[in-house]
Amino acid sequence: MPIYLDHAATTPVRPEVLSAMLPLWGAGFGNPSSAHAFGRAAREALDDAHERLAAAIGGESREVVLTSGGTEAINLALKGAAWAGRARGHRIITSAVEHHAVTHALAHLGKFGFEIVEVPVDRYGQVDPDDVERALTDTTVLVAVMLANNEVGTIQPIAEIAARVHARRGALLHVDAVQAGPWLPLHVAELRADLVSLGAHKVEGPKGTGALWIRRGTHLLAQQHGGGQERHRRAGTENVAGAVGMATAFELRAAERPAAAERVRAQRDRLVAAVLAVDGVELTGHPVGRLPHIASFIVRGAEGGDIVLALDLEGIAASTGSACASGSDEVSHVLAAMGFPADEAHGALRLSLGRSTTDAEIEEACRVVPAVVRRVRDGSVGVTAG
324 among known catalytic residues = yes
The distance of Cα 265 from the centroid of its chain, to the nearest Å, equals: 18
Q: Which of 159, 324, 342, 360 is catalytic?
A: 324
Residues near 285 by Cβ (< 8 Å), separated by ≥ 6?
A: 124, 125, 149, 151, 152, 153, 154, 294, 296
Strands 316-317 and 3-4: parallel
SS3 (DSSP) at 103: helix
For residue 262, the number of C-alpha atoms closer than 13 Å in the C-beta half-sphere is 3
Q: Are 350 and 319 within 8 A, CB to CB?
A: yes
Give me the DSSP letters along 66-89: EESSHHHHHHHHHHHHHHHTTTT-
Radius of gyration of the chain (CA): 21
Question: Which is nearest to 284 in space by CA: 373, 376, 349, 369?
Answer: 349
CA separation, residue 103 to residues 94, 99, 117, 200, 365 (Å): 8, 6, 11, 21, 34
Cβ neighbours of 228 (radius 10 Å): 10
Cβ neighbours of 251 (radius 10 Å): 17
Q: Give the residue numbers annotated as catalytic, written as ranges.
A: 324
